[in-house]
């Protein structure tokens, strides 16, 4: 979760220290508006990828603010579970950005009751972030495909 005012991460669900300001936060944390910080698996015909999304993505997927979802979670776990289940399996259009990172991968081998760690080469990893998400409009998509078929490209 993050505070909207400084848009920085908080440590823990009800943290008392803001990482950005380095100050202790009083009981005002419960009065602030929470924001979504989410990681999700998405799939299409070509495969699966893990995407990271923030507040606008969460509001589109869940149909409510993070404050509302958090209050439902605190109030009724069955309703929260129902909301989570209803939010899966929908079709969206994503605009994503990709960033390549590298990190060292360690592998462990157990030999005669000793654990030996070996550091391998730097391994590249691509992180995908969602910059825009919209619900799929089938009529709009059909018109775009029709226009593509009648375009100069298709001839």
Distance of alpha carbon 37 from alpha carbon 72, whole angstroms: 17
The larger pLDDT score, comparing residue 121 to residue 134, is at 134
Rg (CA), the chain: 22
- Mind listing the pLDDT tens digit for each residue in 55-110? 999 999 999 999 999 999 999 999 999 999 999 989 999 999 999 887 665 555 55
Summarised one tens digit per residue, pLDDT across range 10-47 is 555 455 555 555 555 554 455 678 899 999 999 988 99
What are the structural domains, with CATH classification, of the chain?
A: 33-154 (2.40.50.140)
How far apart are alpha carbons 41 and 49 in whole angstroms?
Answer: 6
Say what the pLDDT of residue 27 is: 45
Residue 113 Ramachandran class (φ > 0 left, ψ -120 to 50 alpha, else beta): left
> In the prediction, which pLDDT does 133 show?
93
What does the pLDDT read at residue 64? 93
- For the entire predicted model, the pTM comes to 0.64
Calculate the CA dihedral of residues 139, 47, 54, 81 and round it to 10 degrees: 90
With tokens 């960033």, the residue in question is: 99
């Amino acid at each position: 979760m993050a505070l909207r005012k400084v848009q920085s991460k908080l440590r823990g669900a009800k943290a008392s220290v803001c990482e950005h300001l380095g100050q202790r936060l009083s009981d005002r944390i419960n009065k602030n508006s929470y924001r979504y910080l989410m990681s999700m698996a998405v799939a299409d015909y070509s495969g699966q990828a893990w995407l990271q999304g923030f507040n606008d993505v969460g509001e589109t997927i869940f149909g409510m603010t993070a404050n509302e979802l958090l209050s439902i979670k605190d109030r009724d776990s069955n309703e929260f579970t129902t909301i989570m289940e209803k939010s899966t399996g929908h079709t969206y259009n994503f605009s994503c950005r990709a960033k390549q990172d590298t990190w060292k991968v360690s592998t462990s081998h157990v030999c005669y009751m000793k654990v030996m760690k070996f550091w391998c080469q730097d391994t590249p990893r691509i992180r995908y972030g969602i910059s825009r998400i919209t619900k799929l409009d089938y009529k709009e998509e059909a018109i775009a495909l029709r226009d593509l078929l009648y375009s100069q490209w298709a001839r």
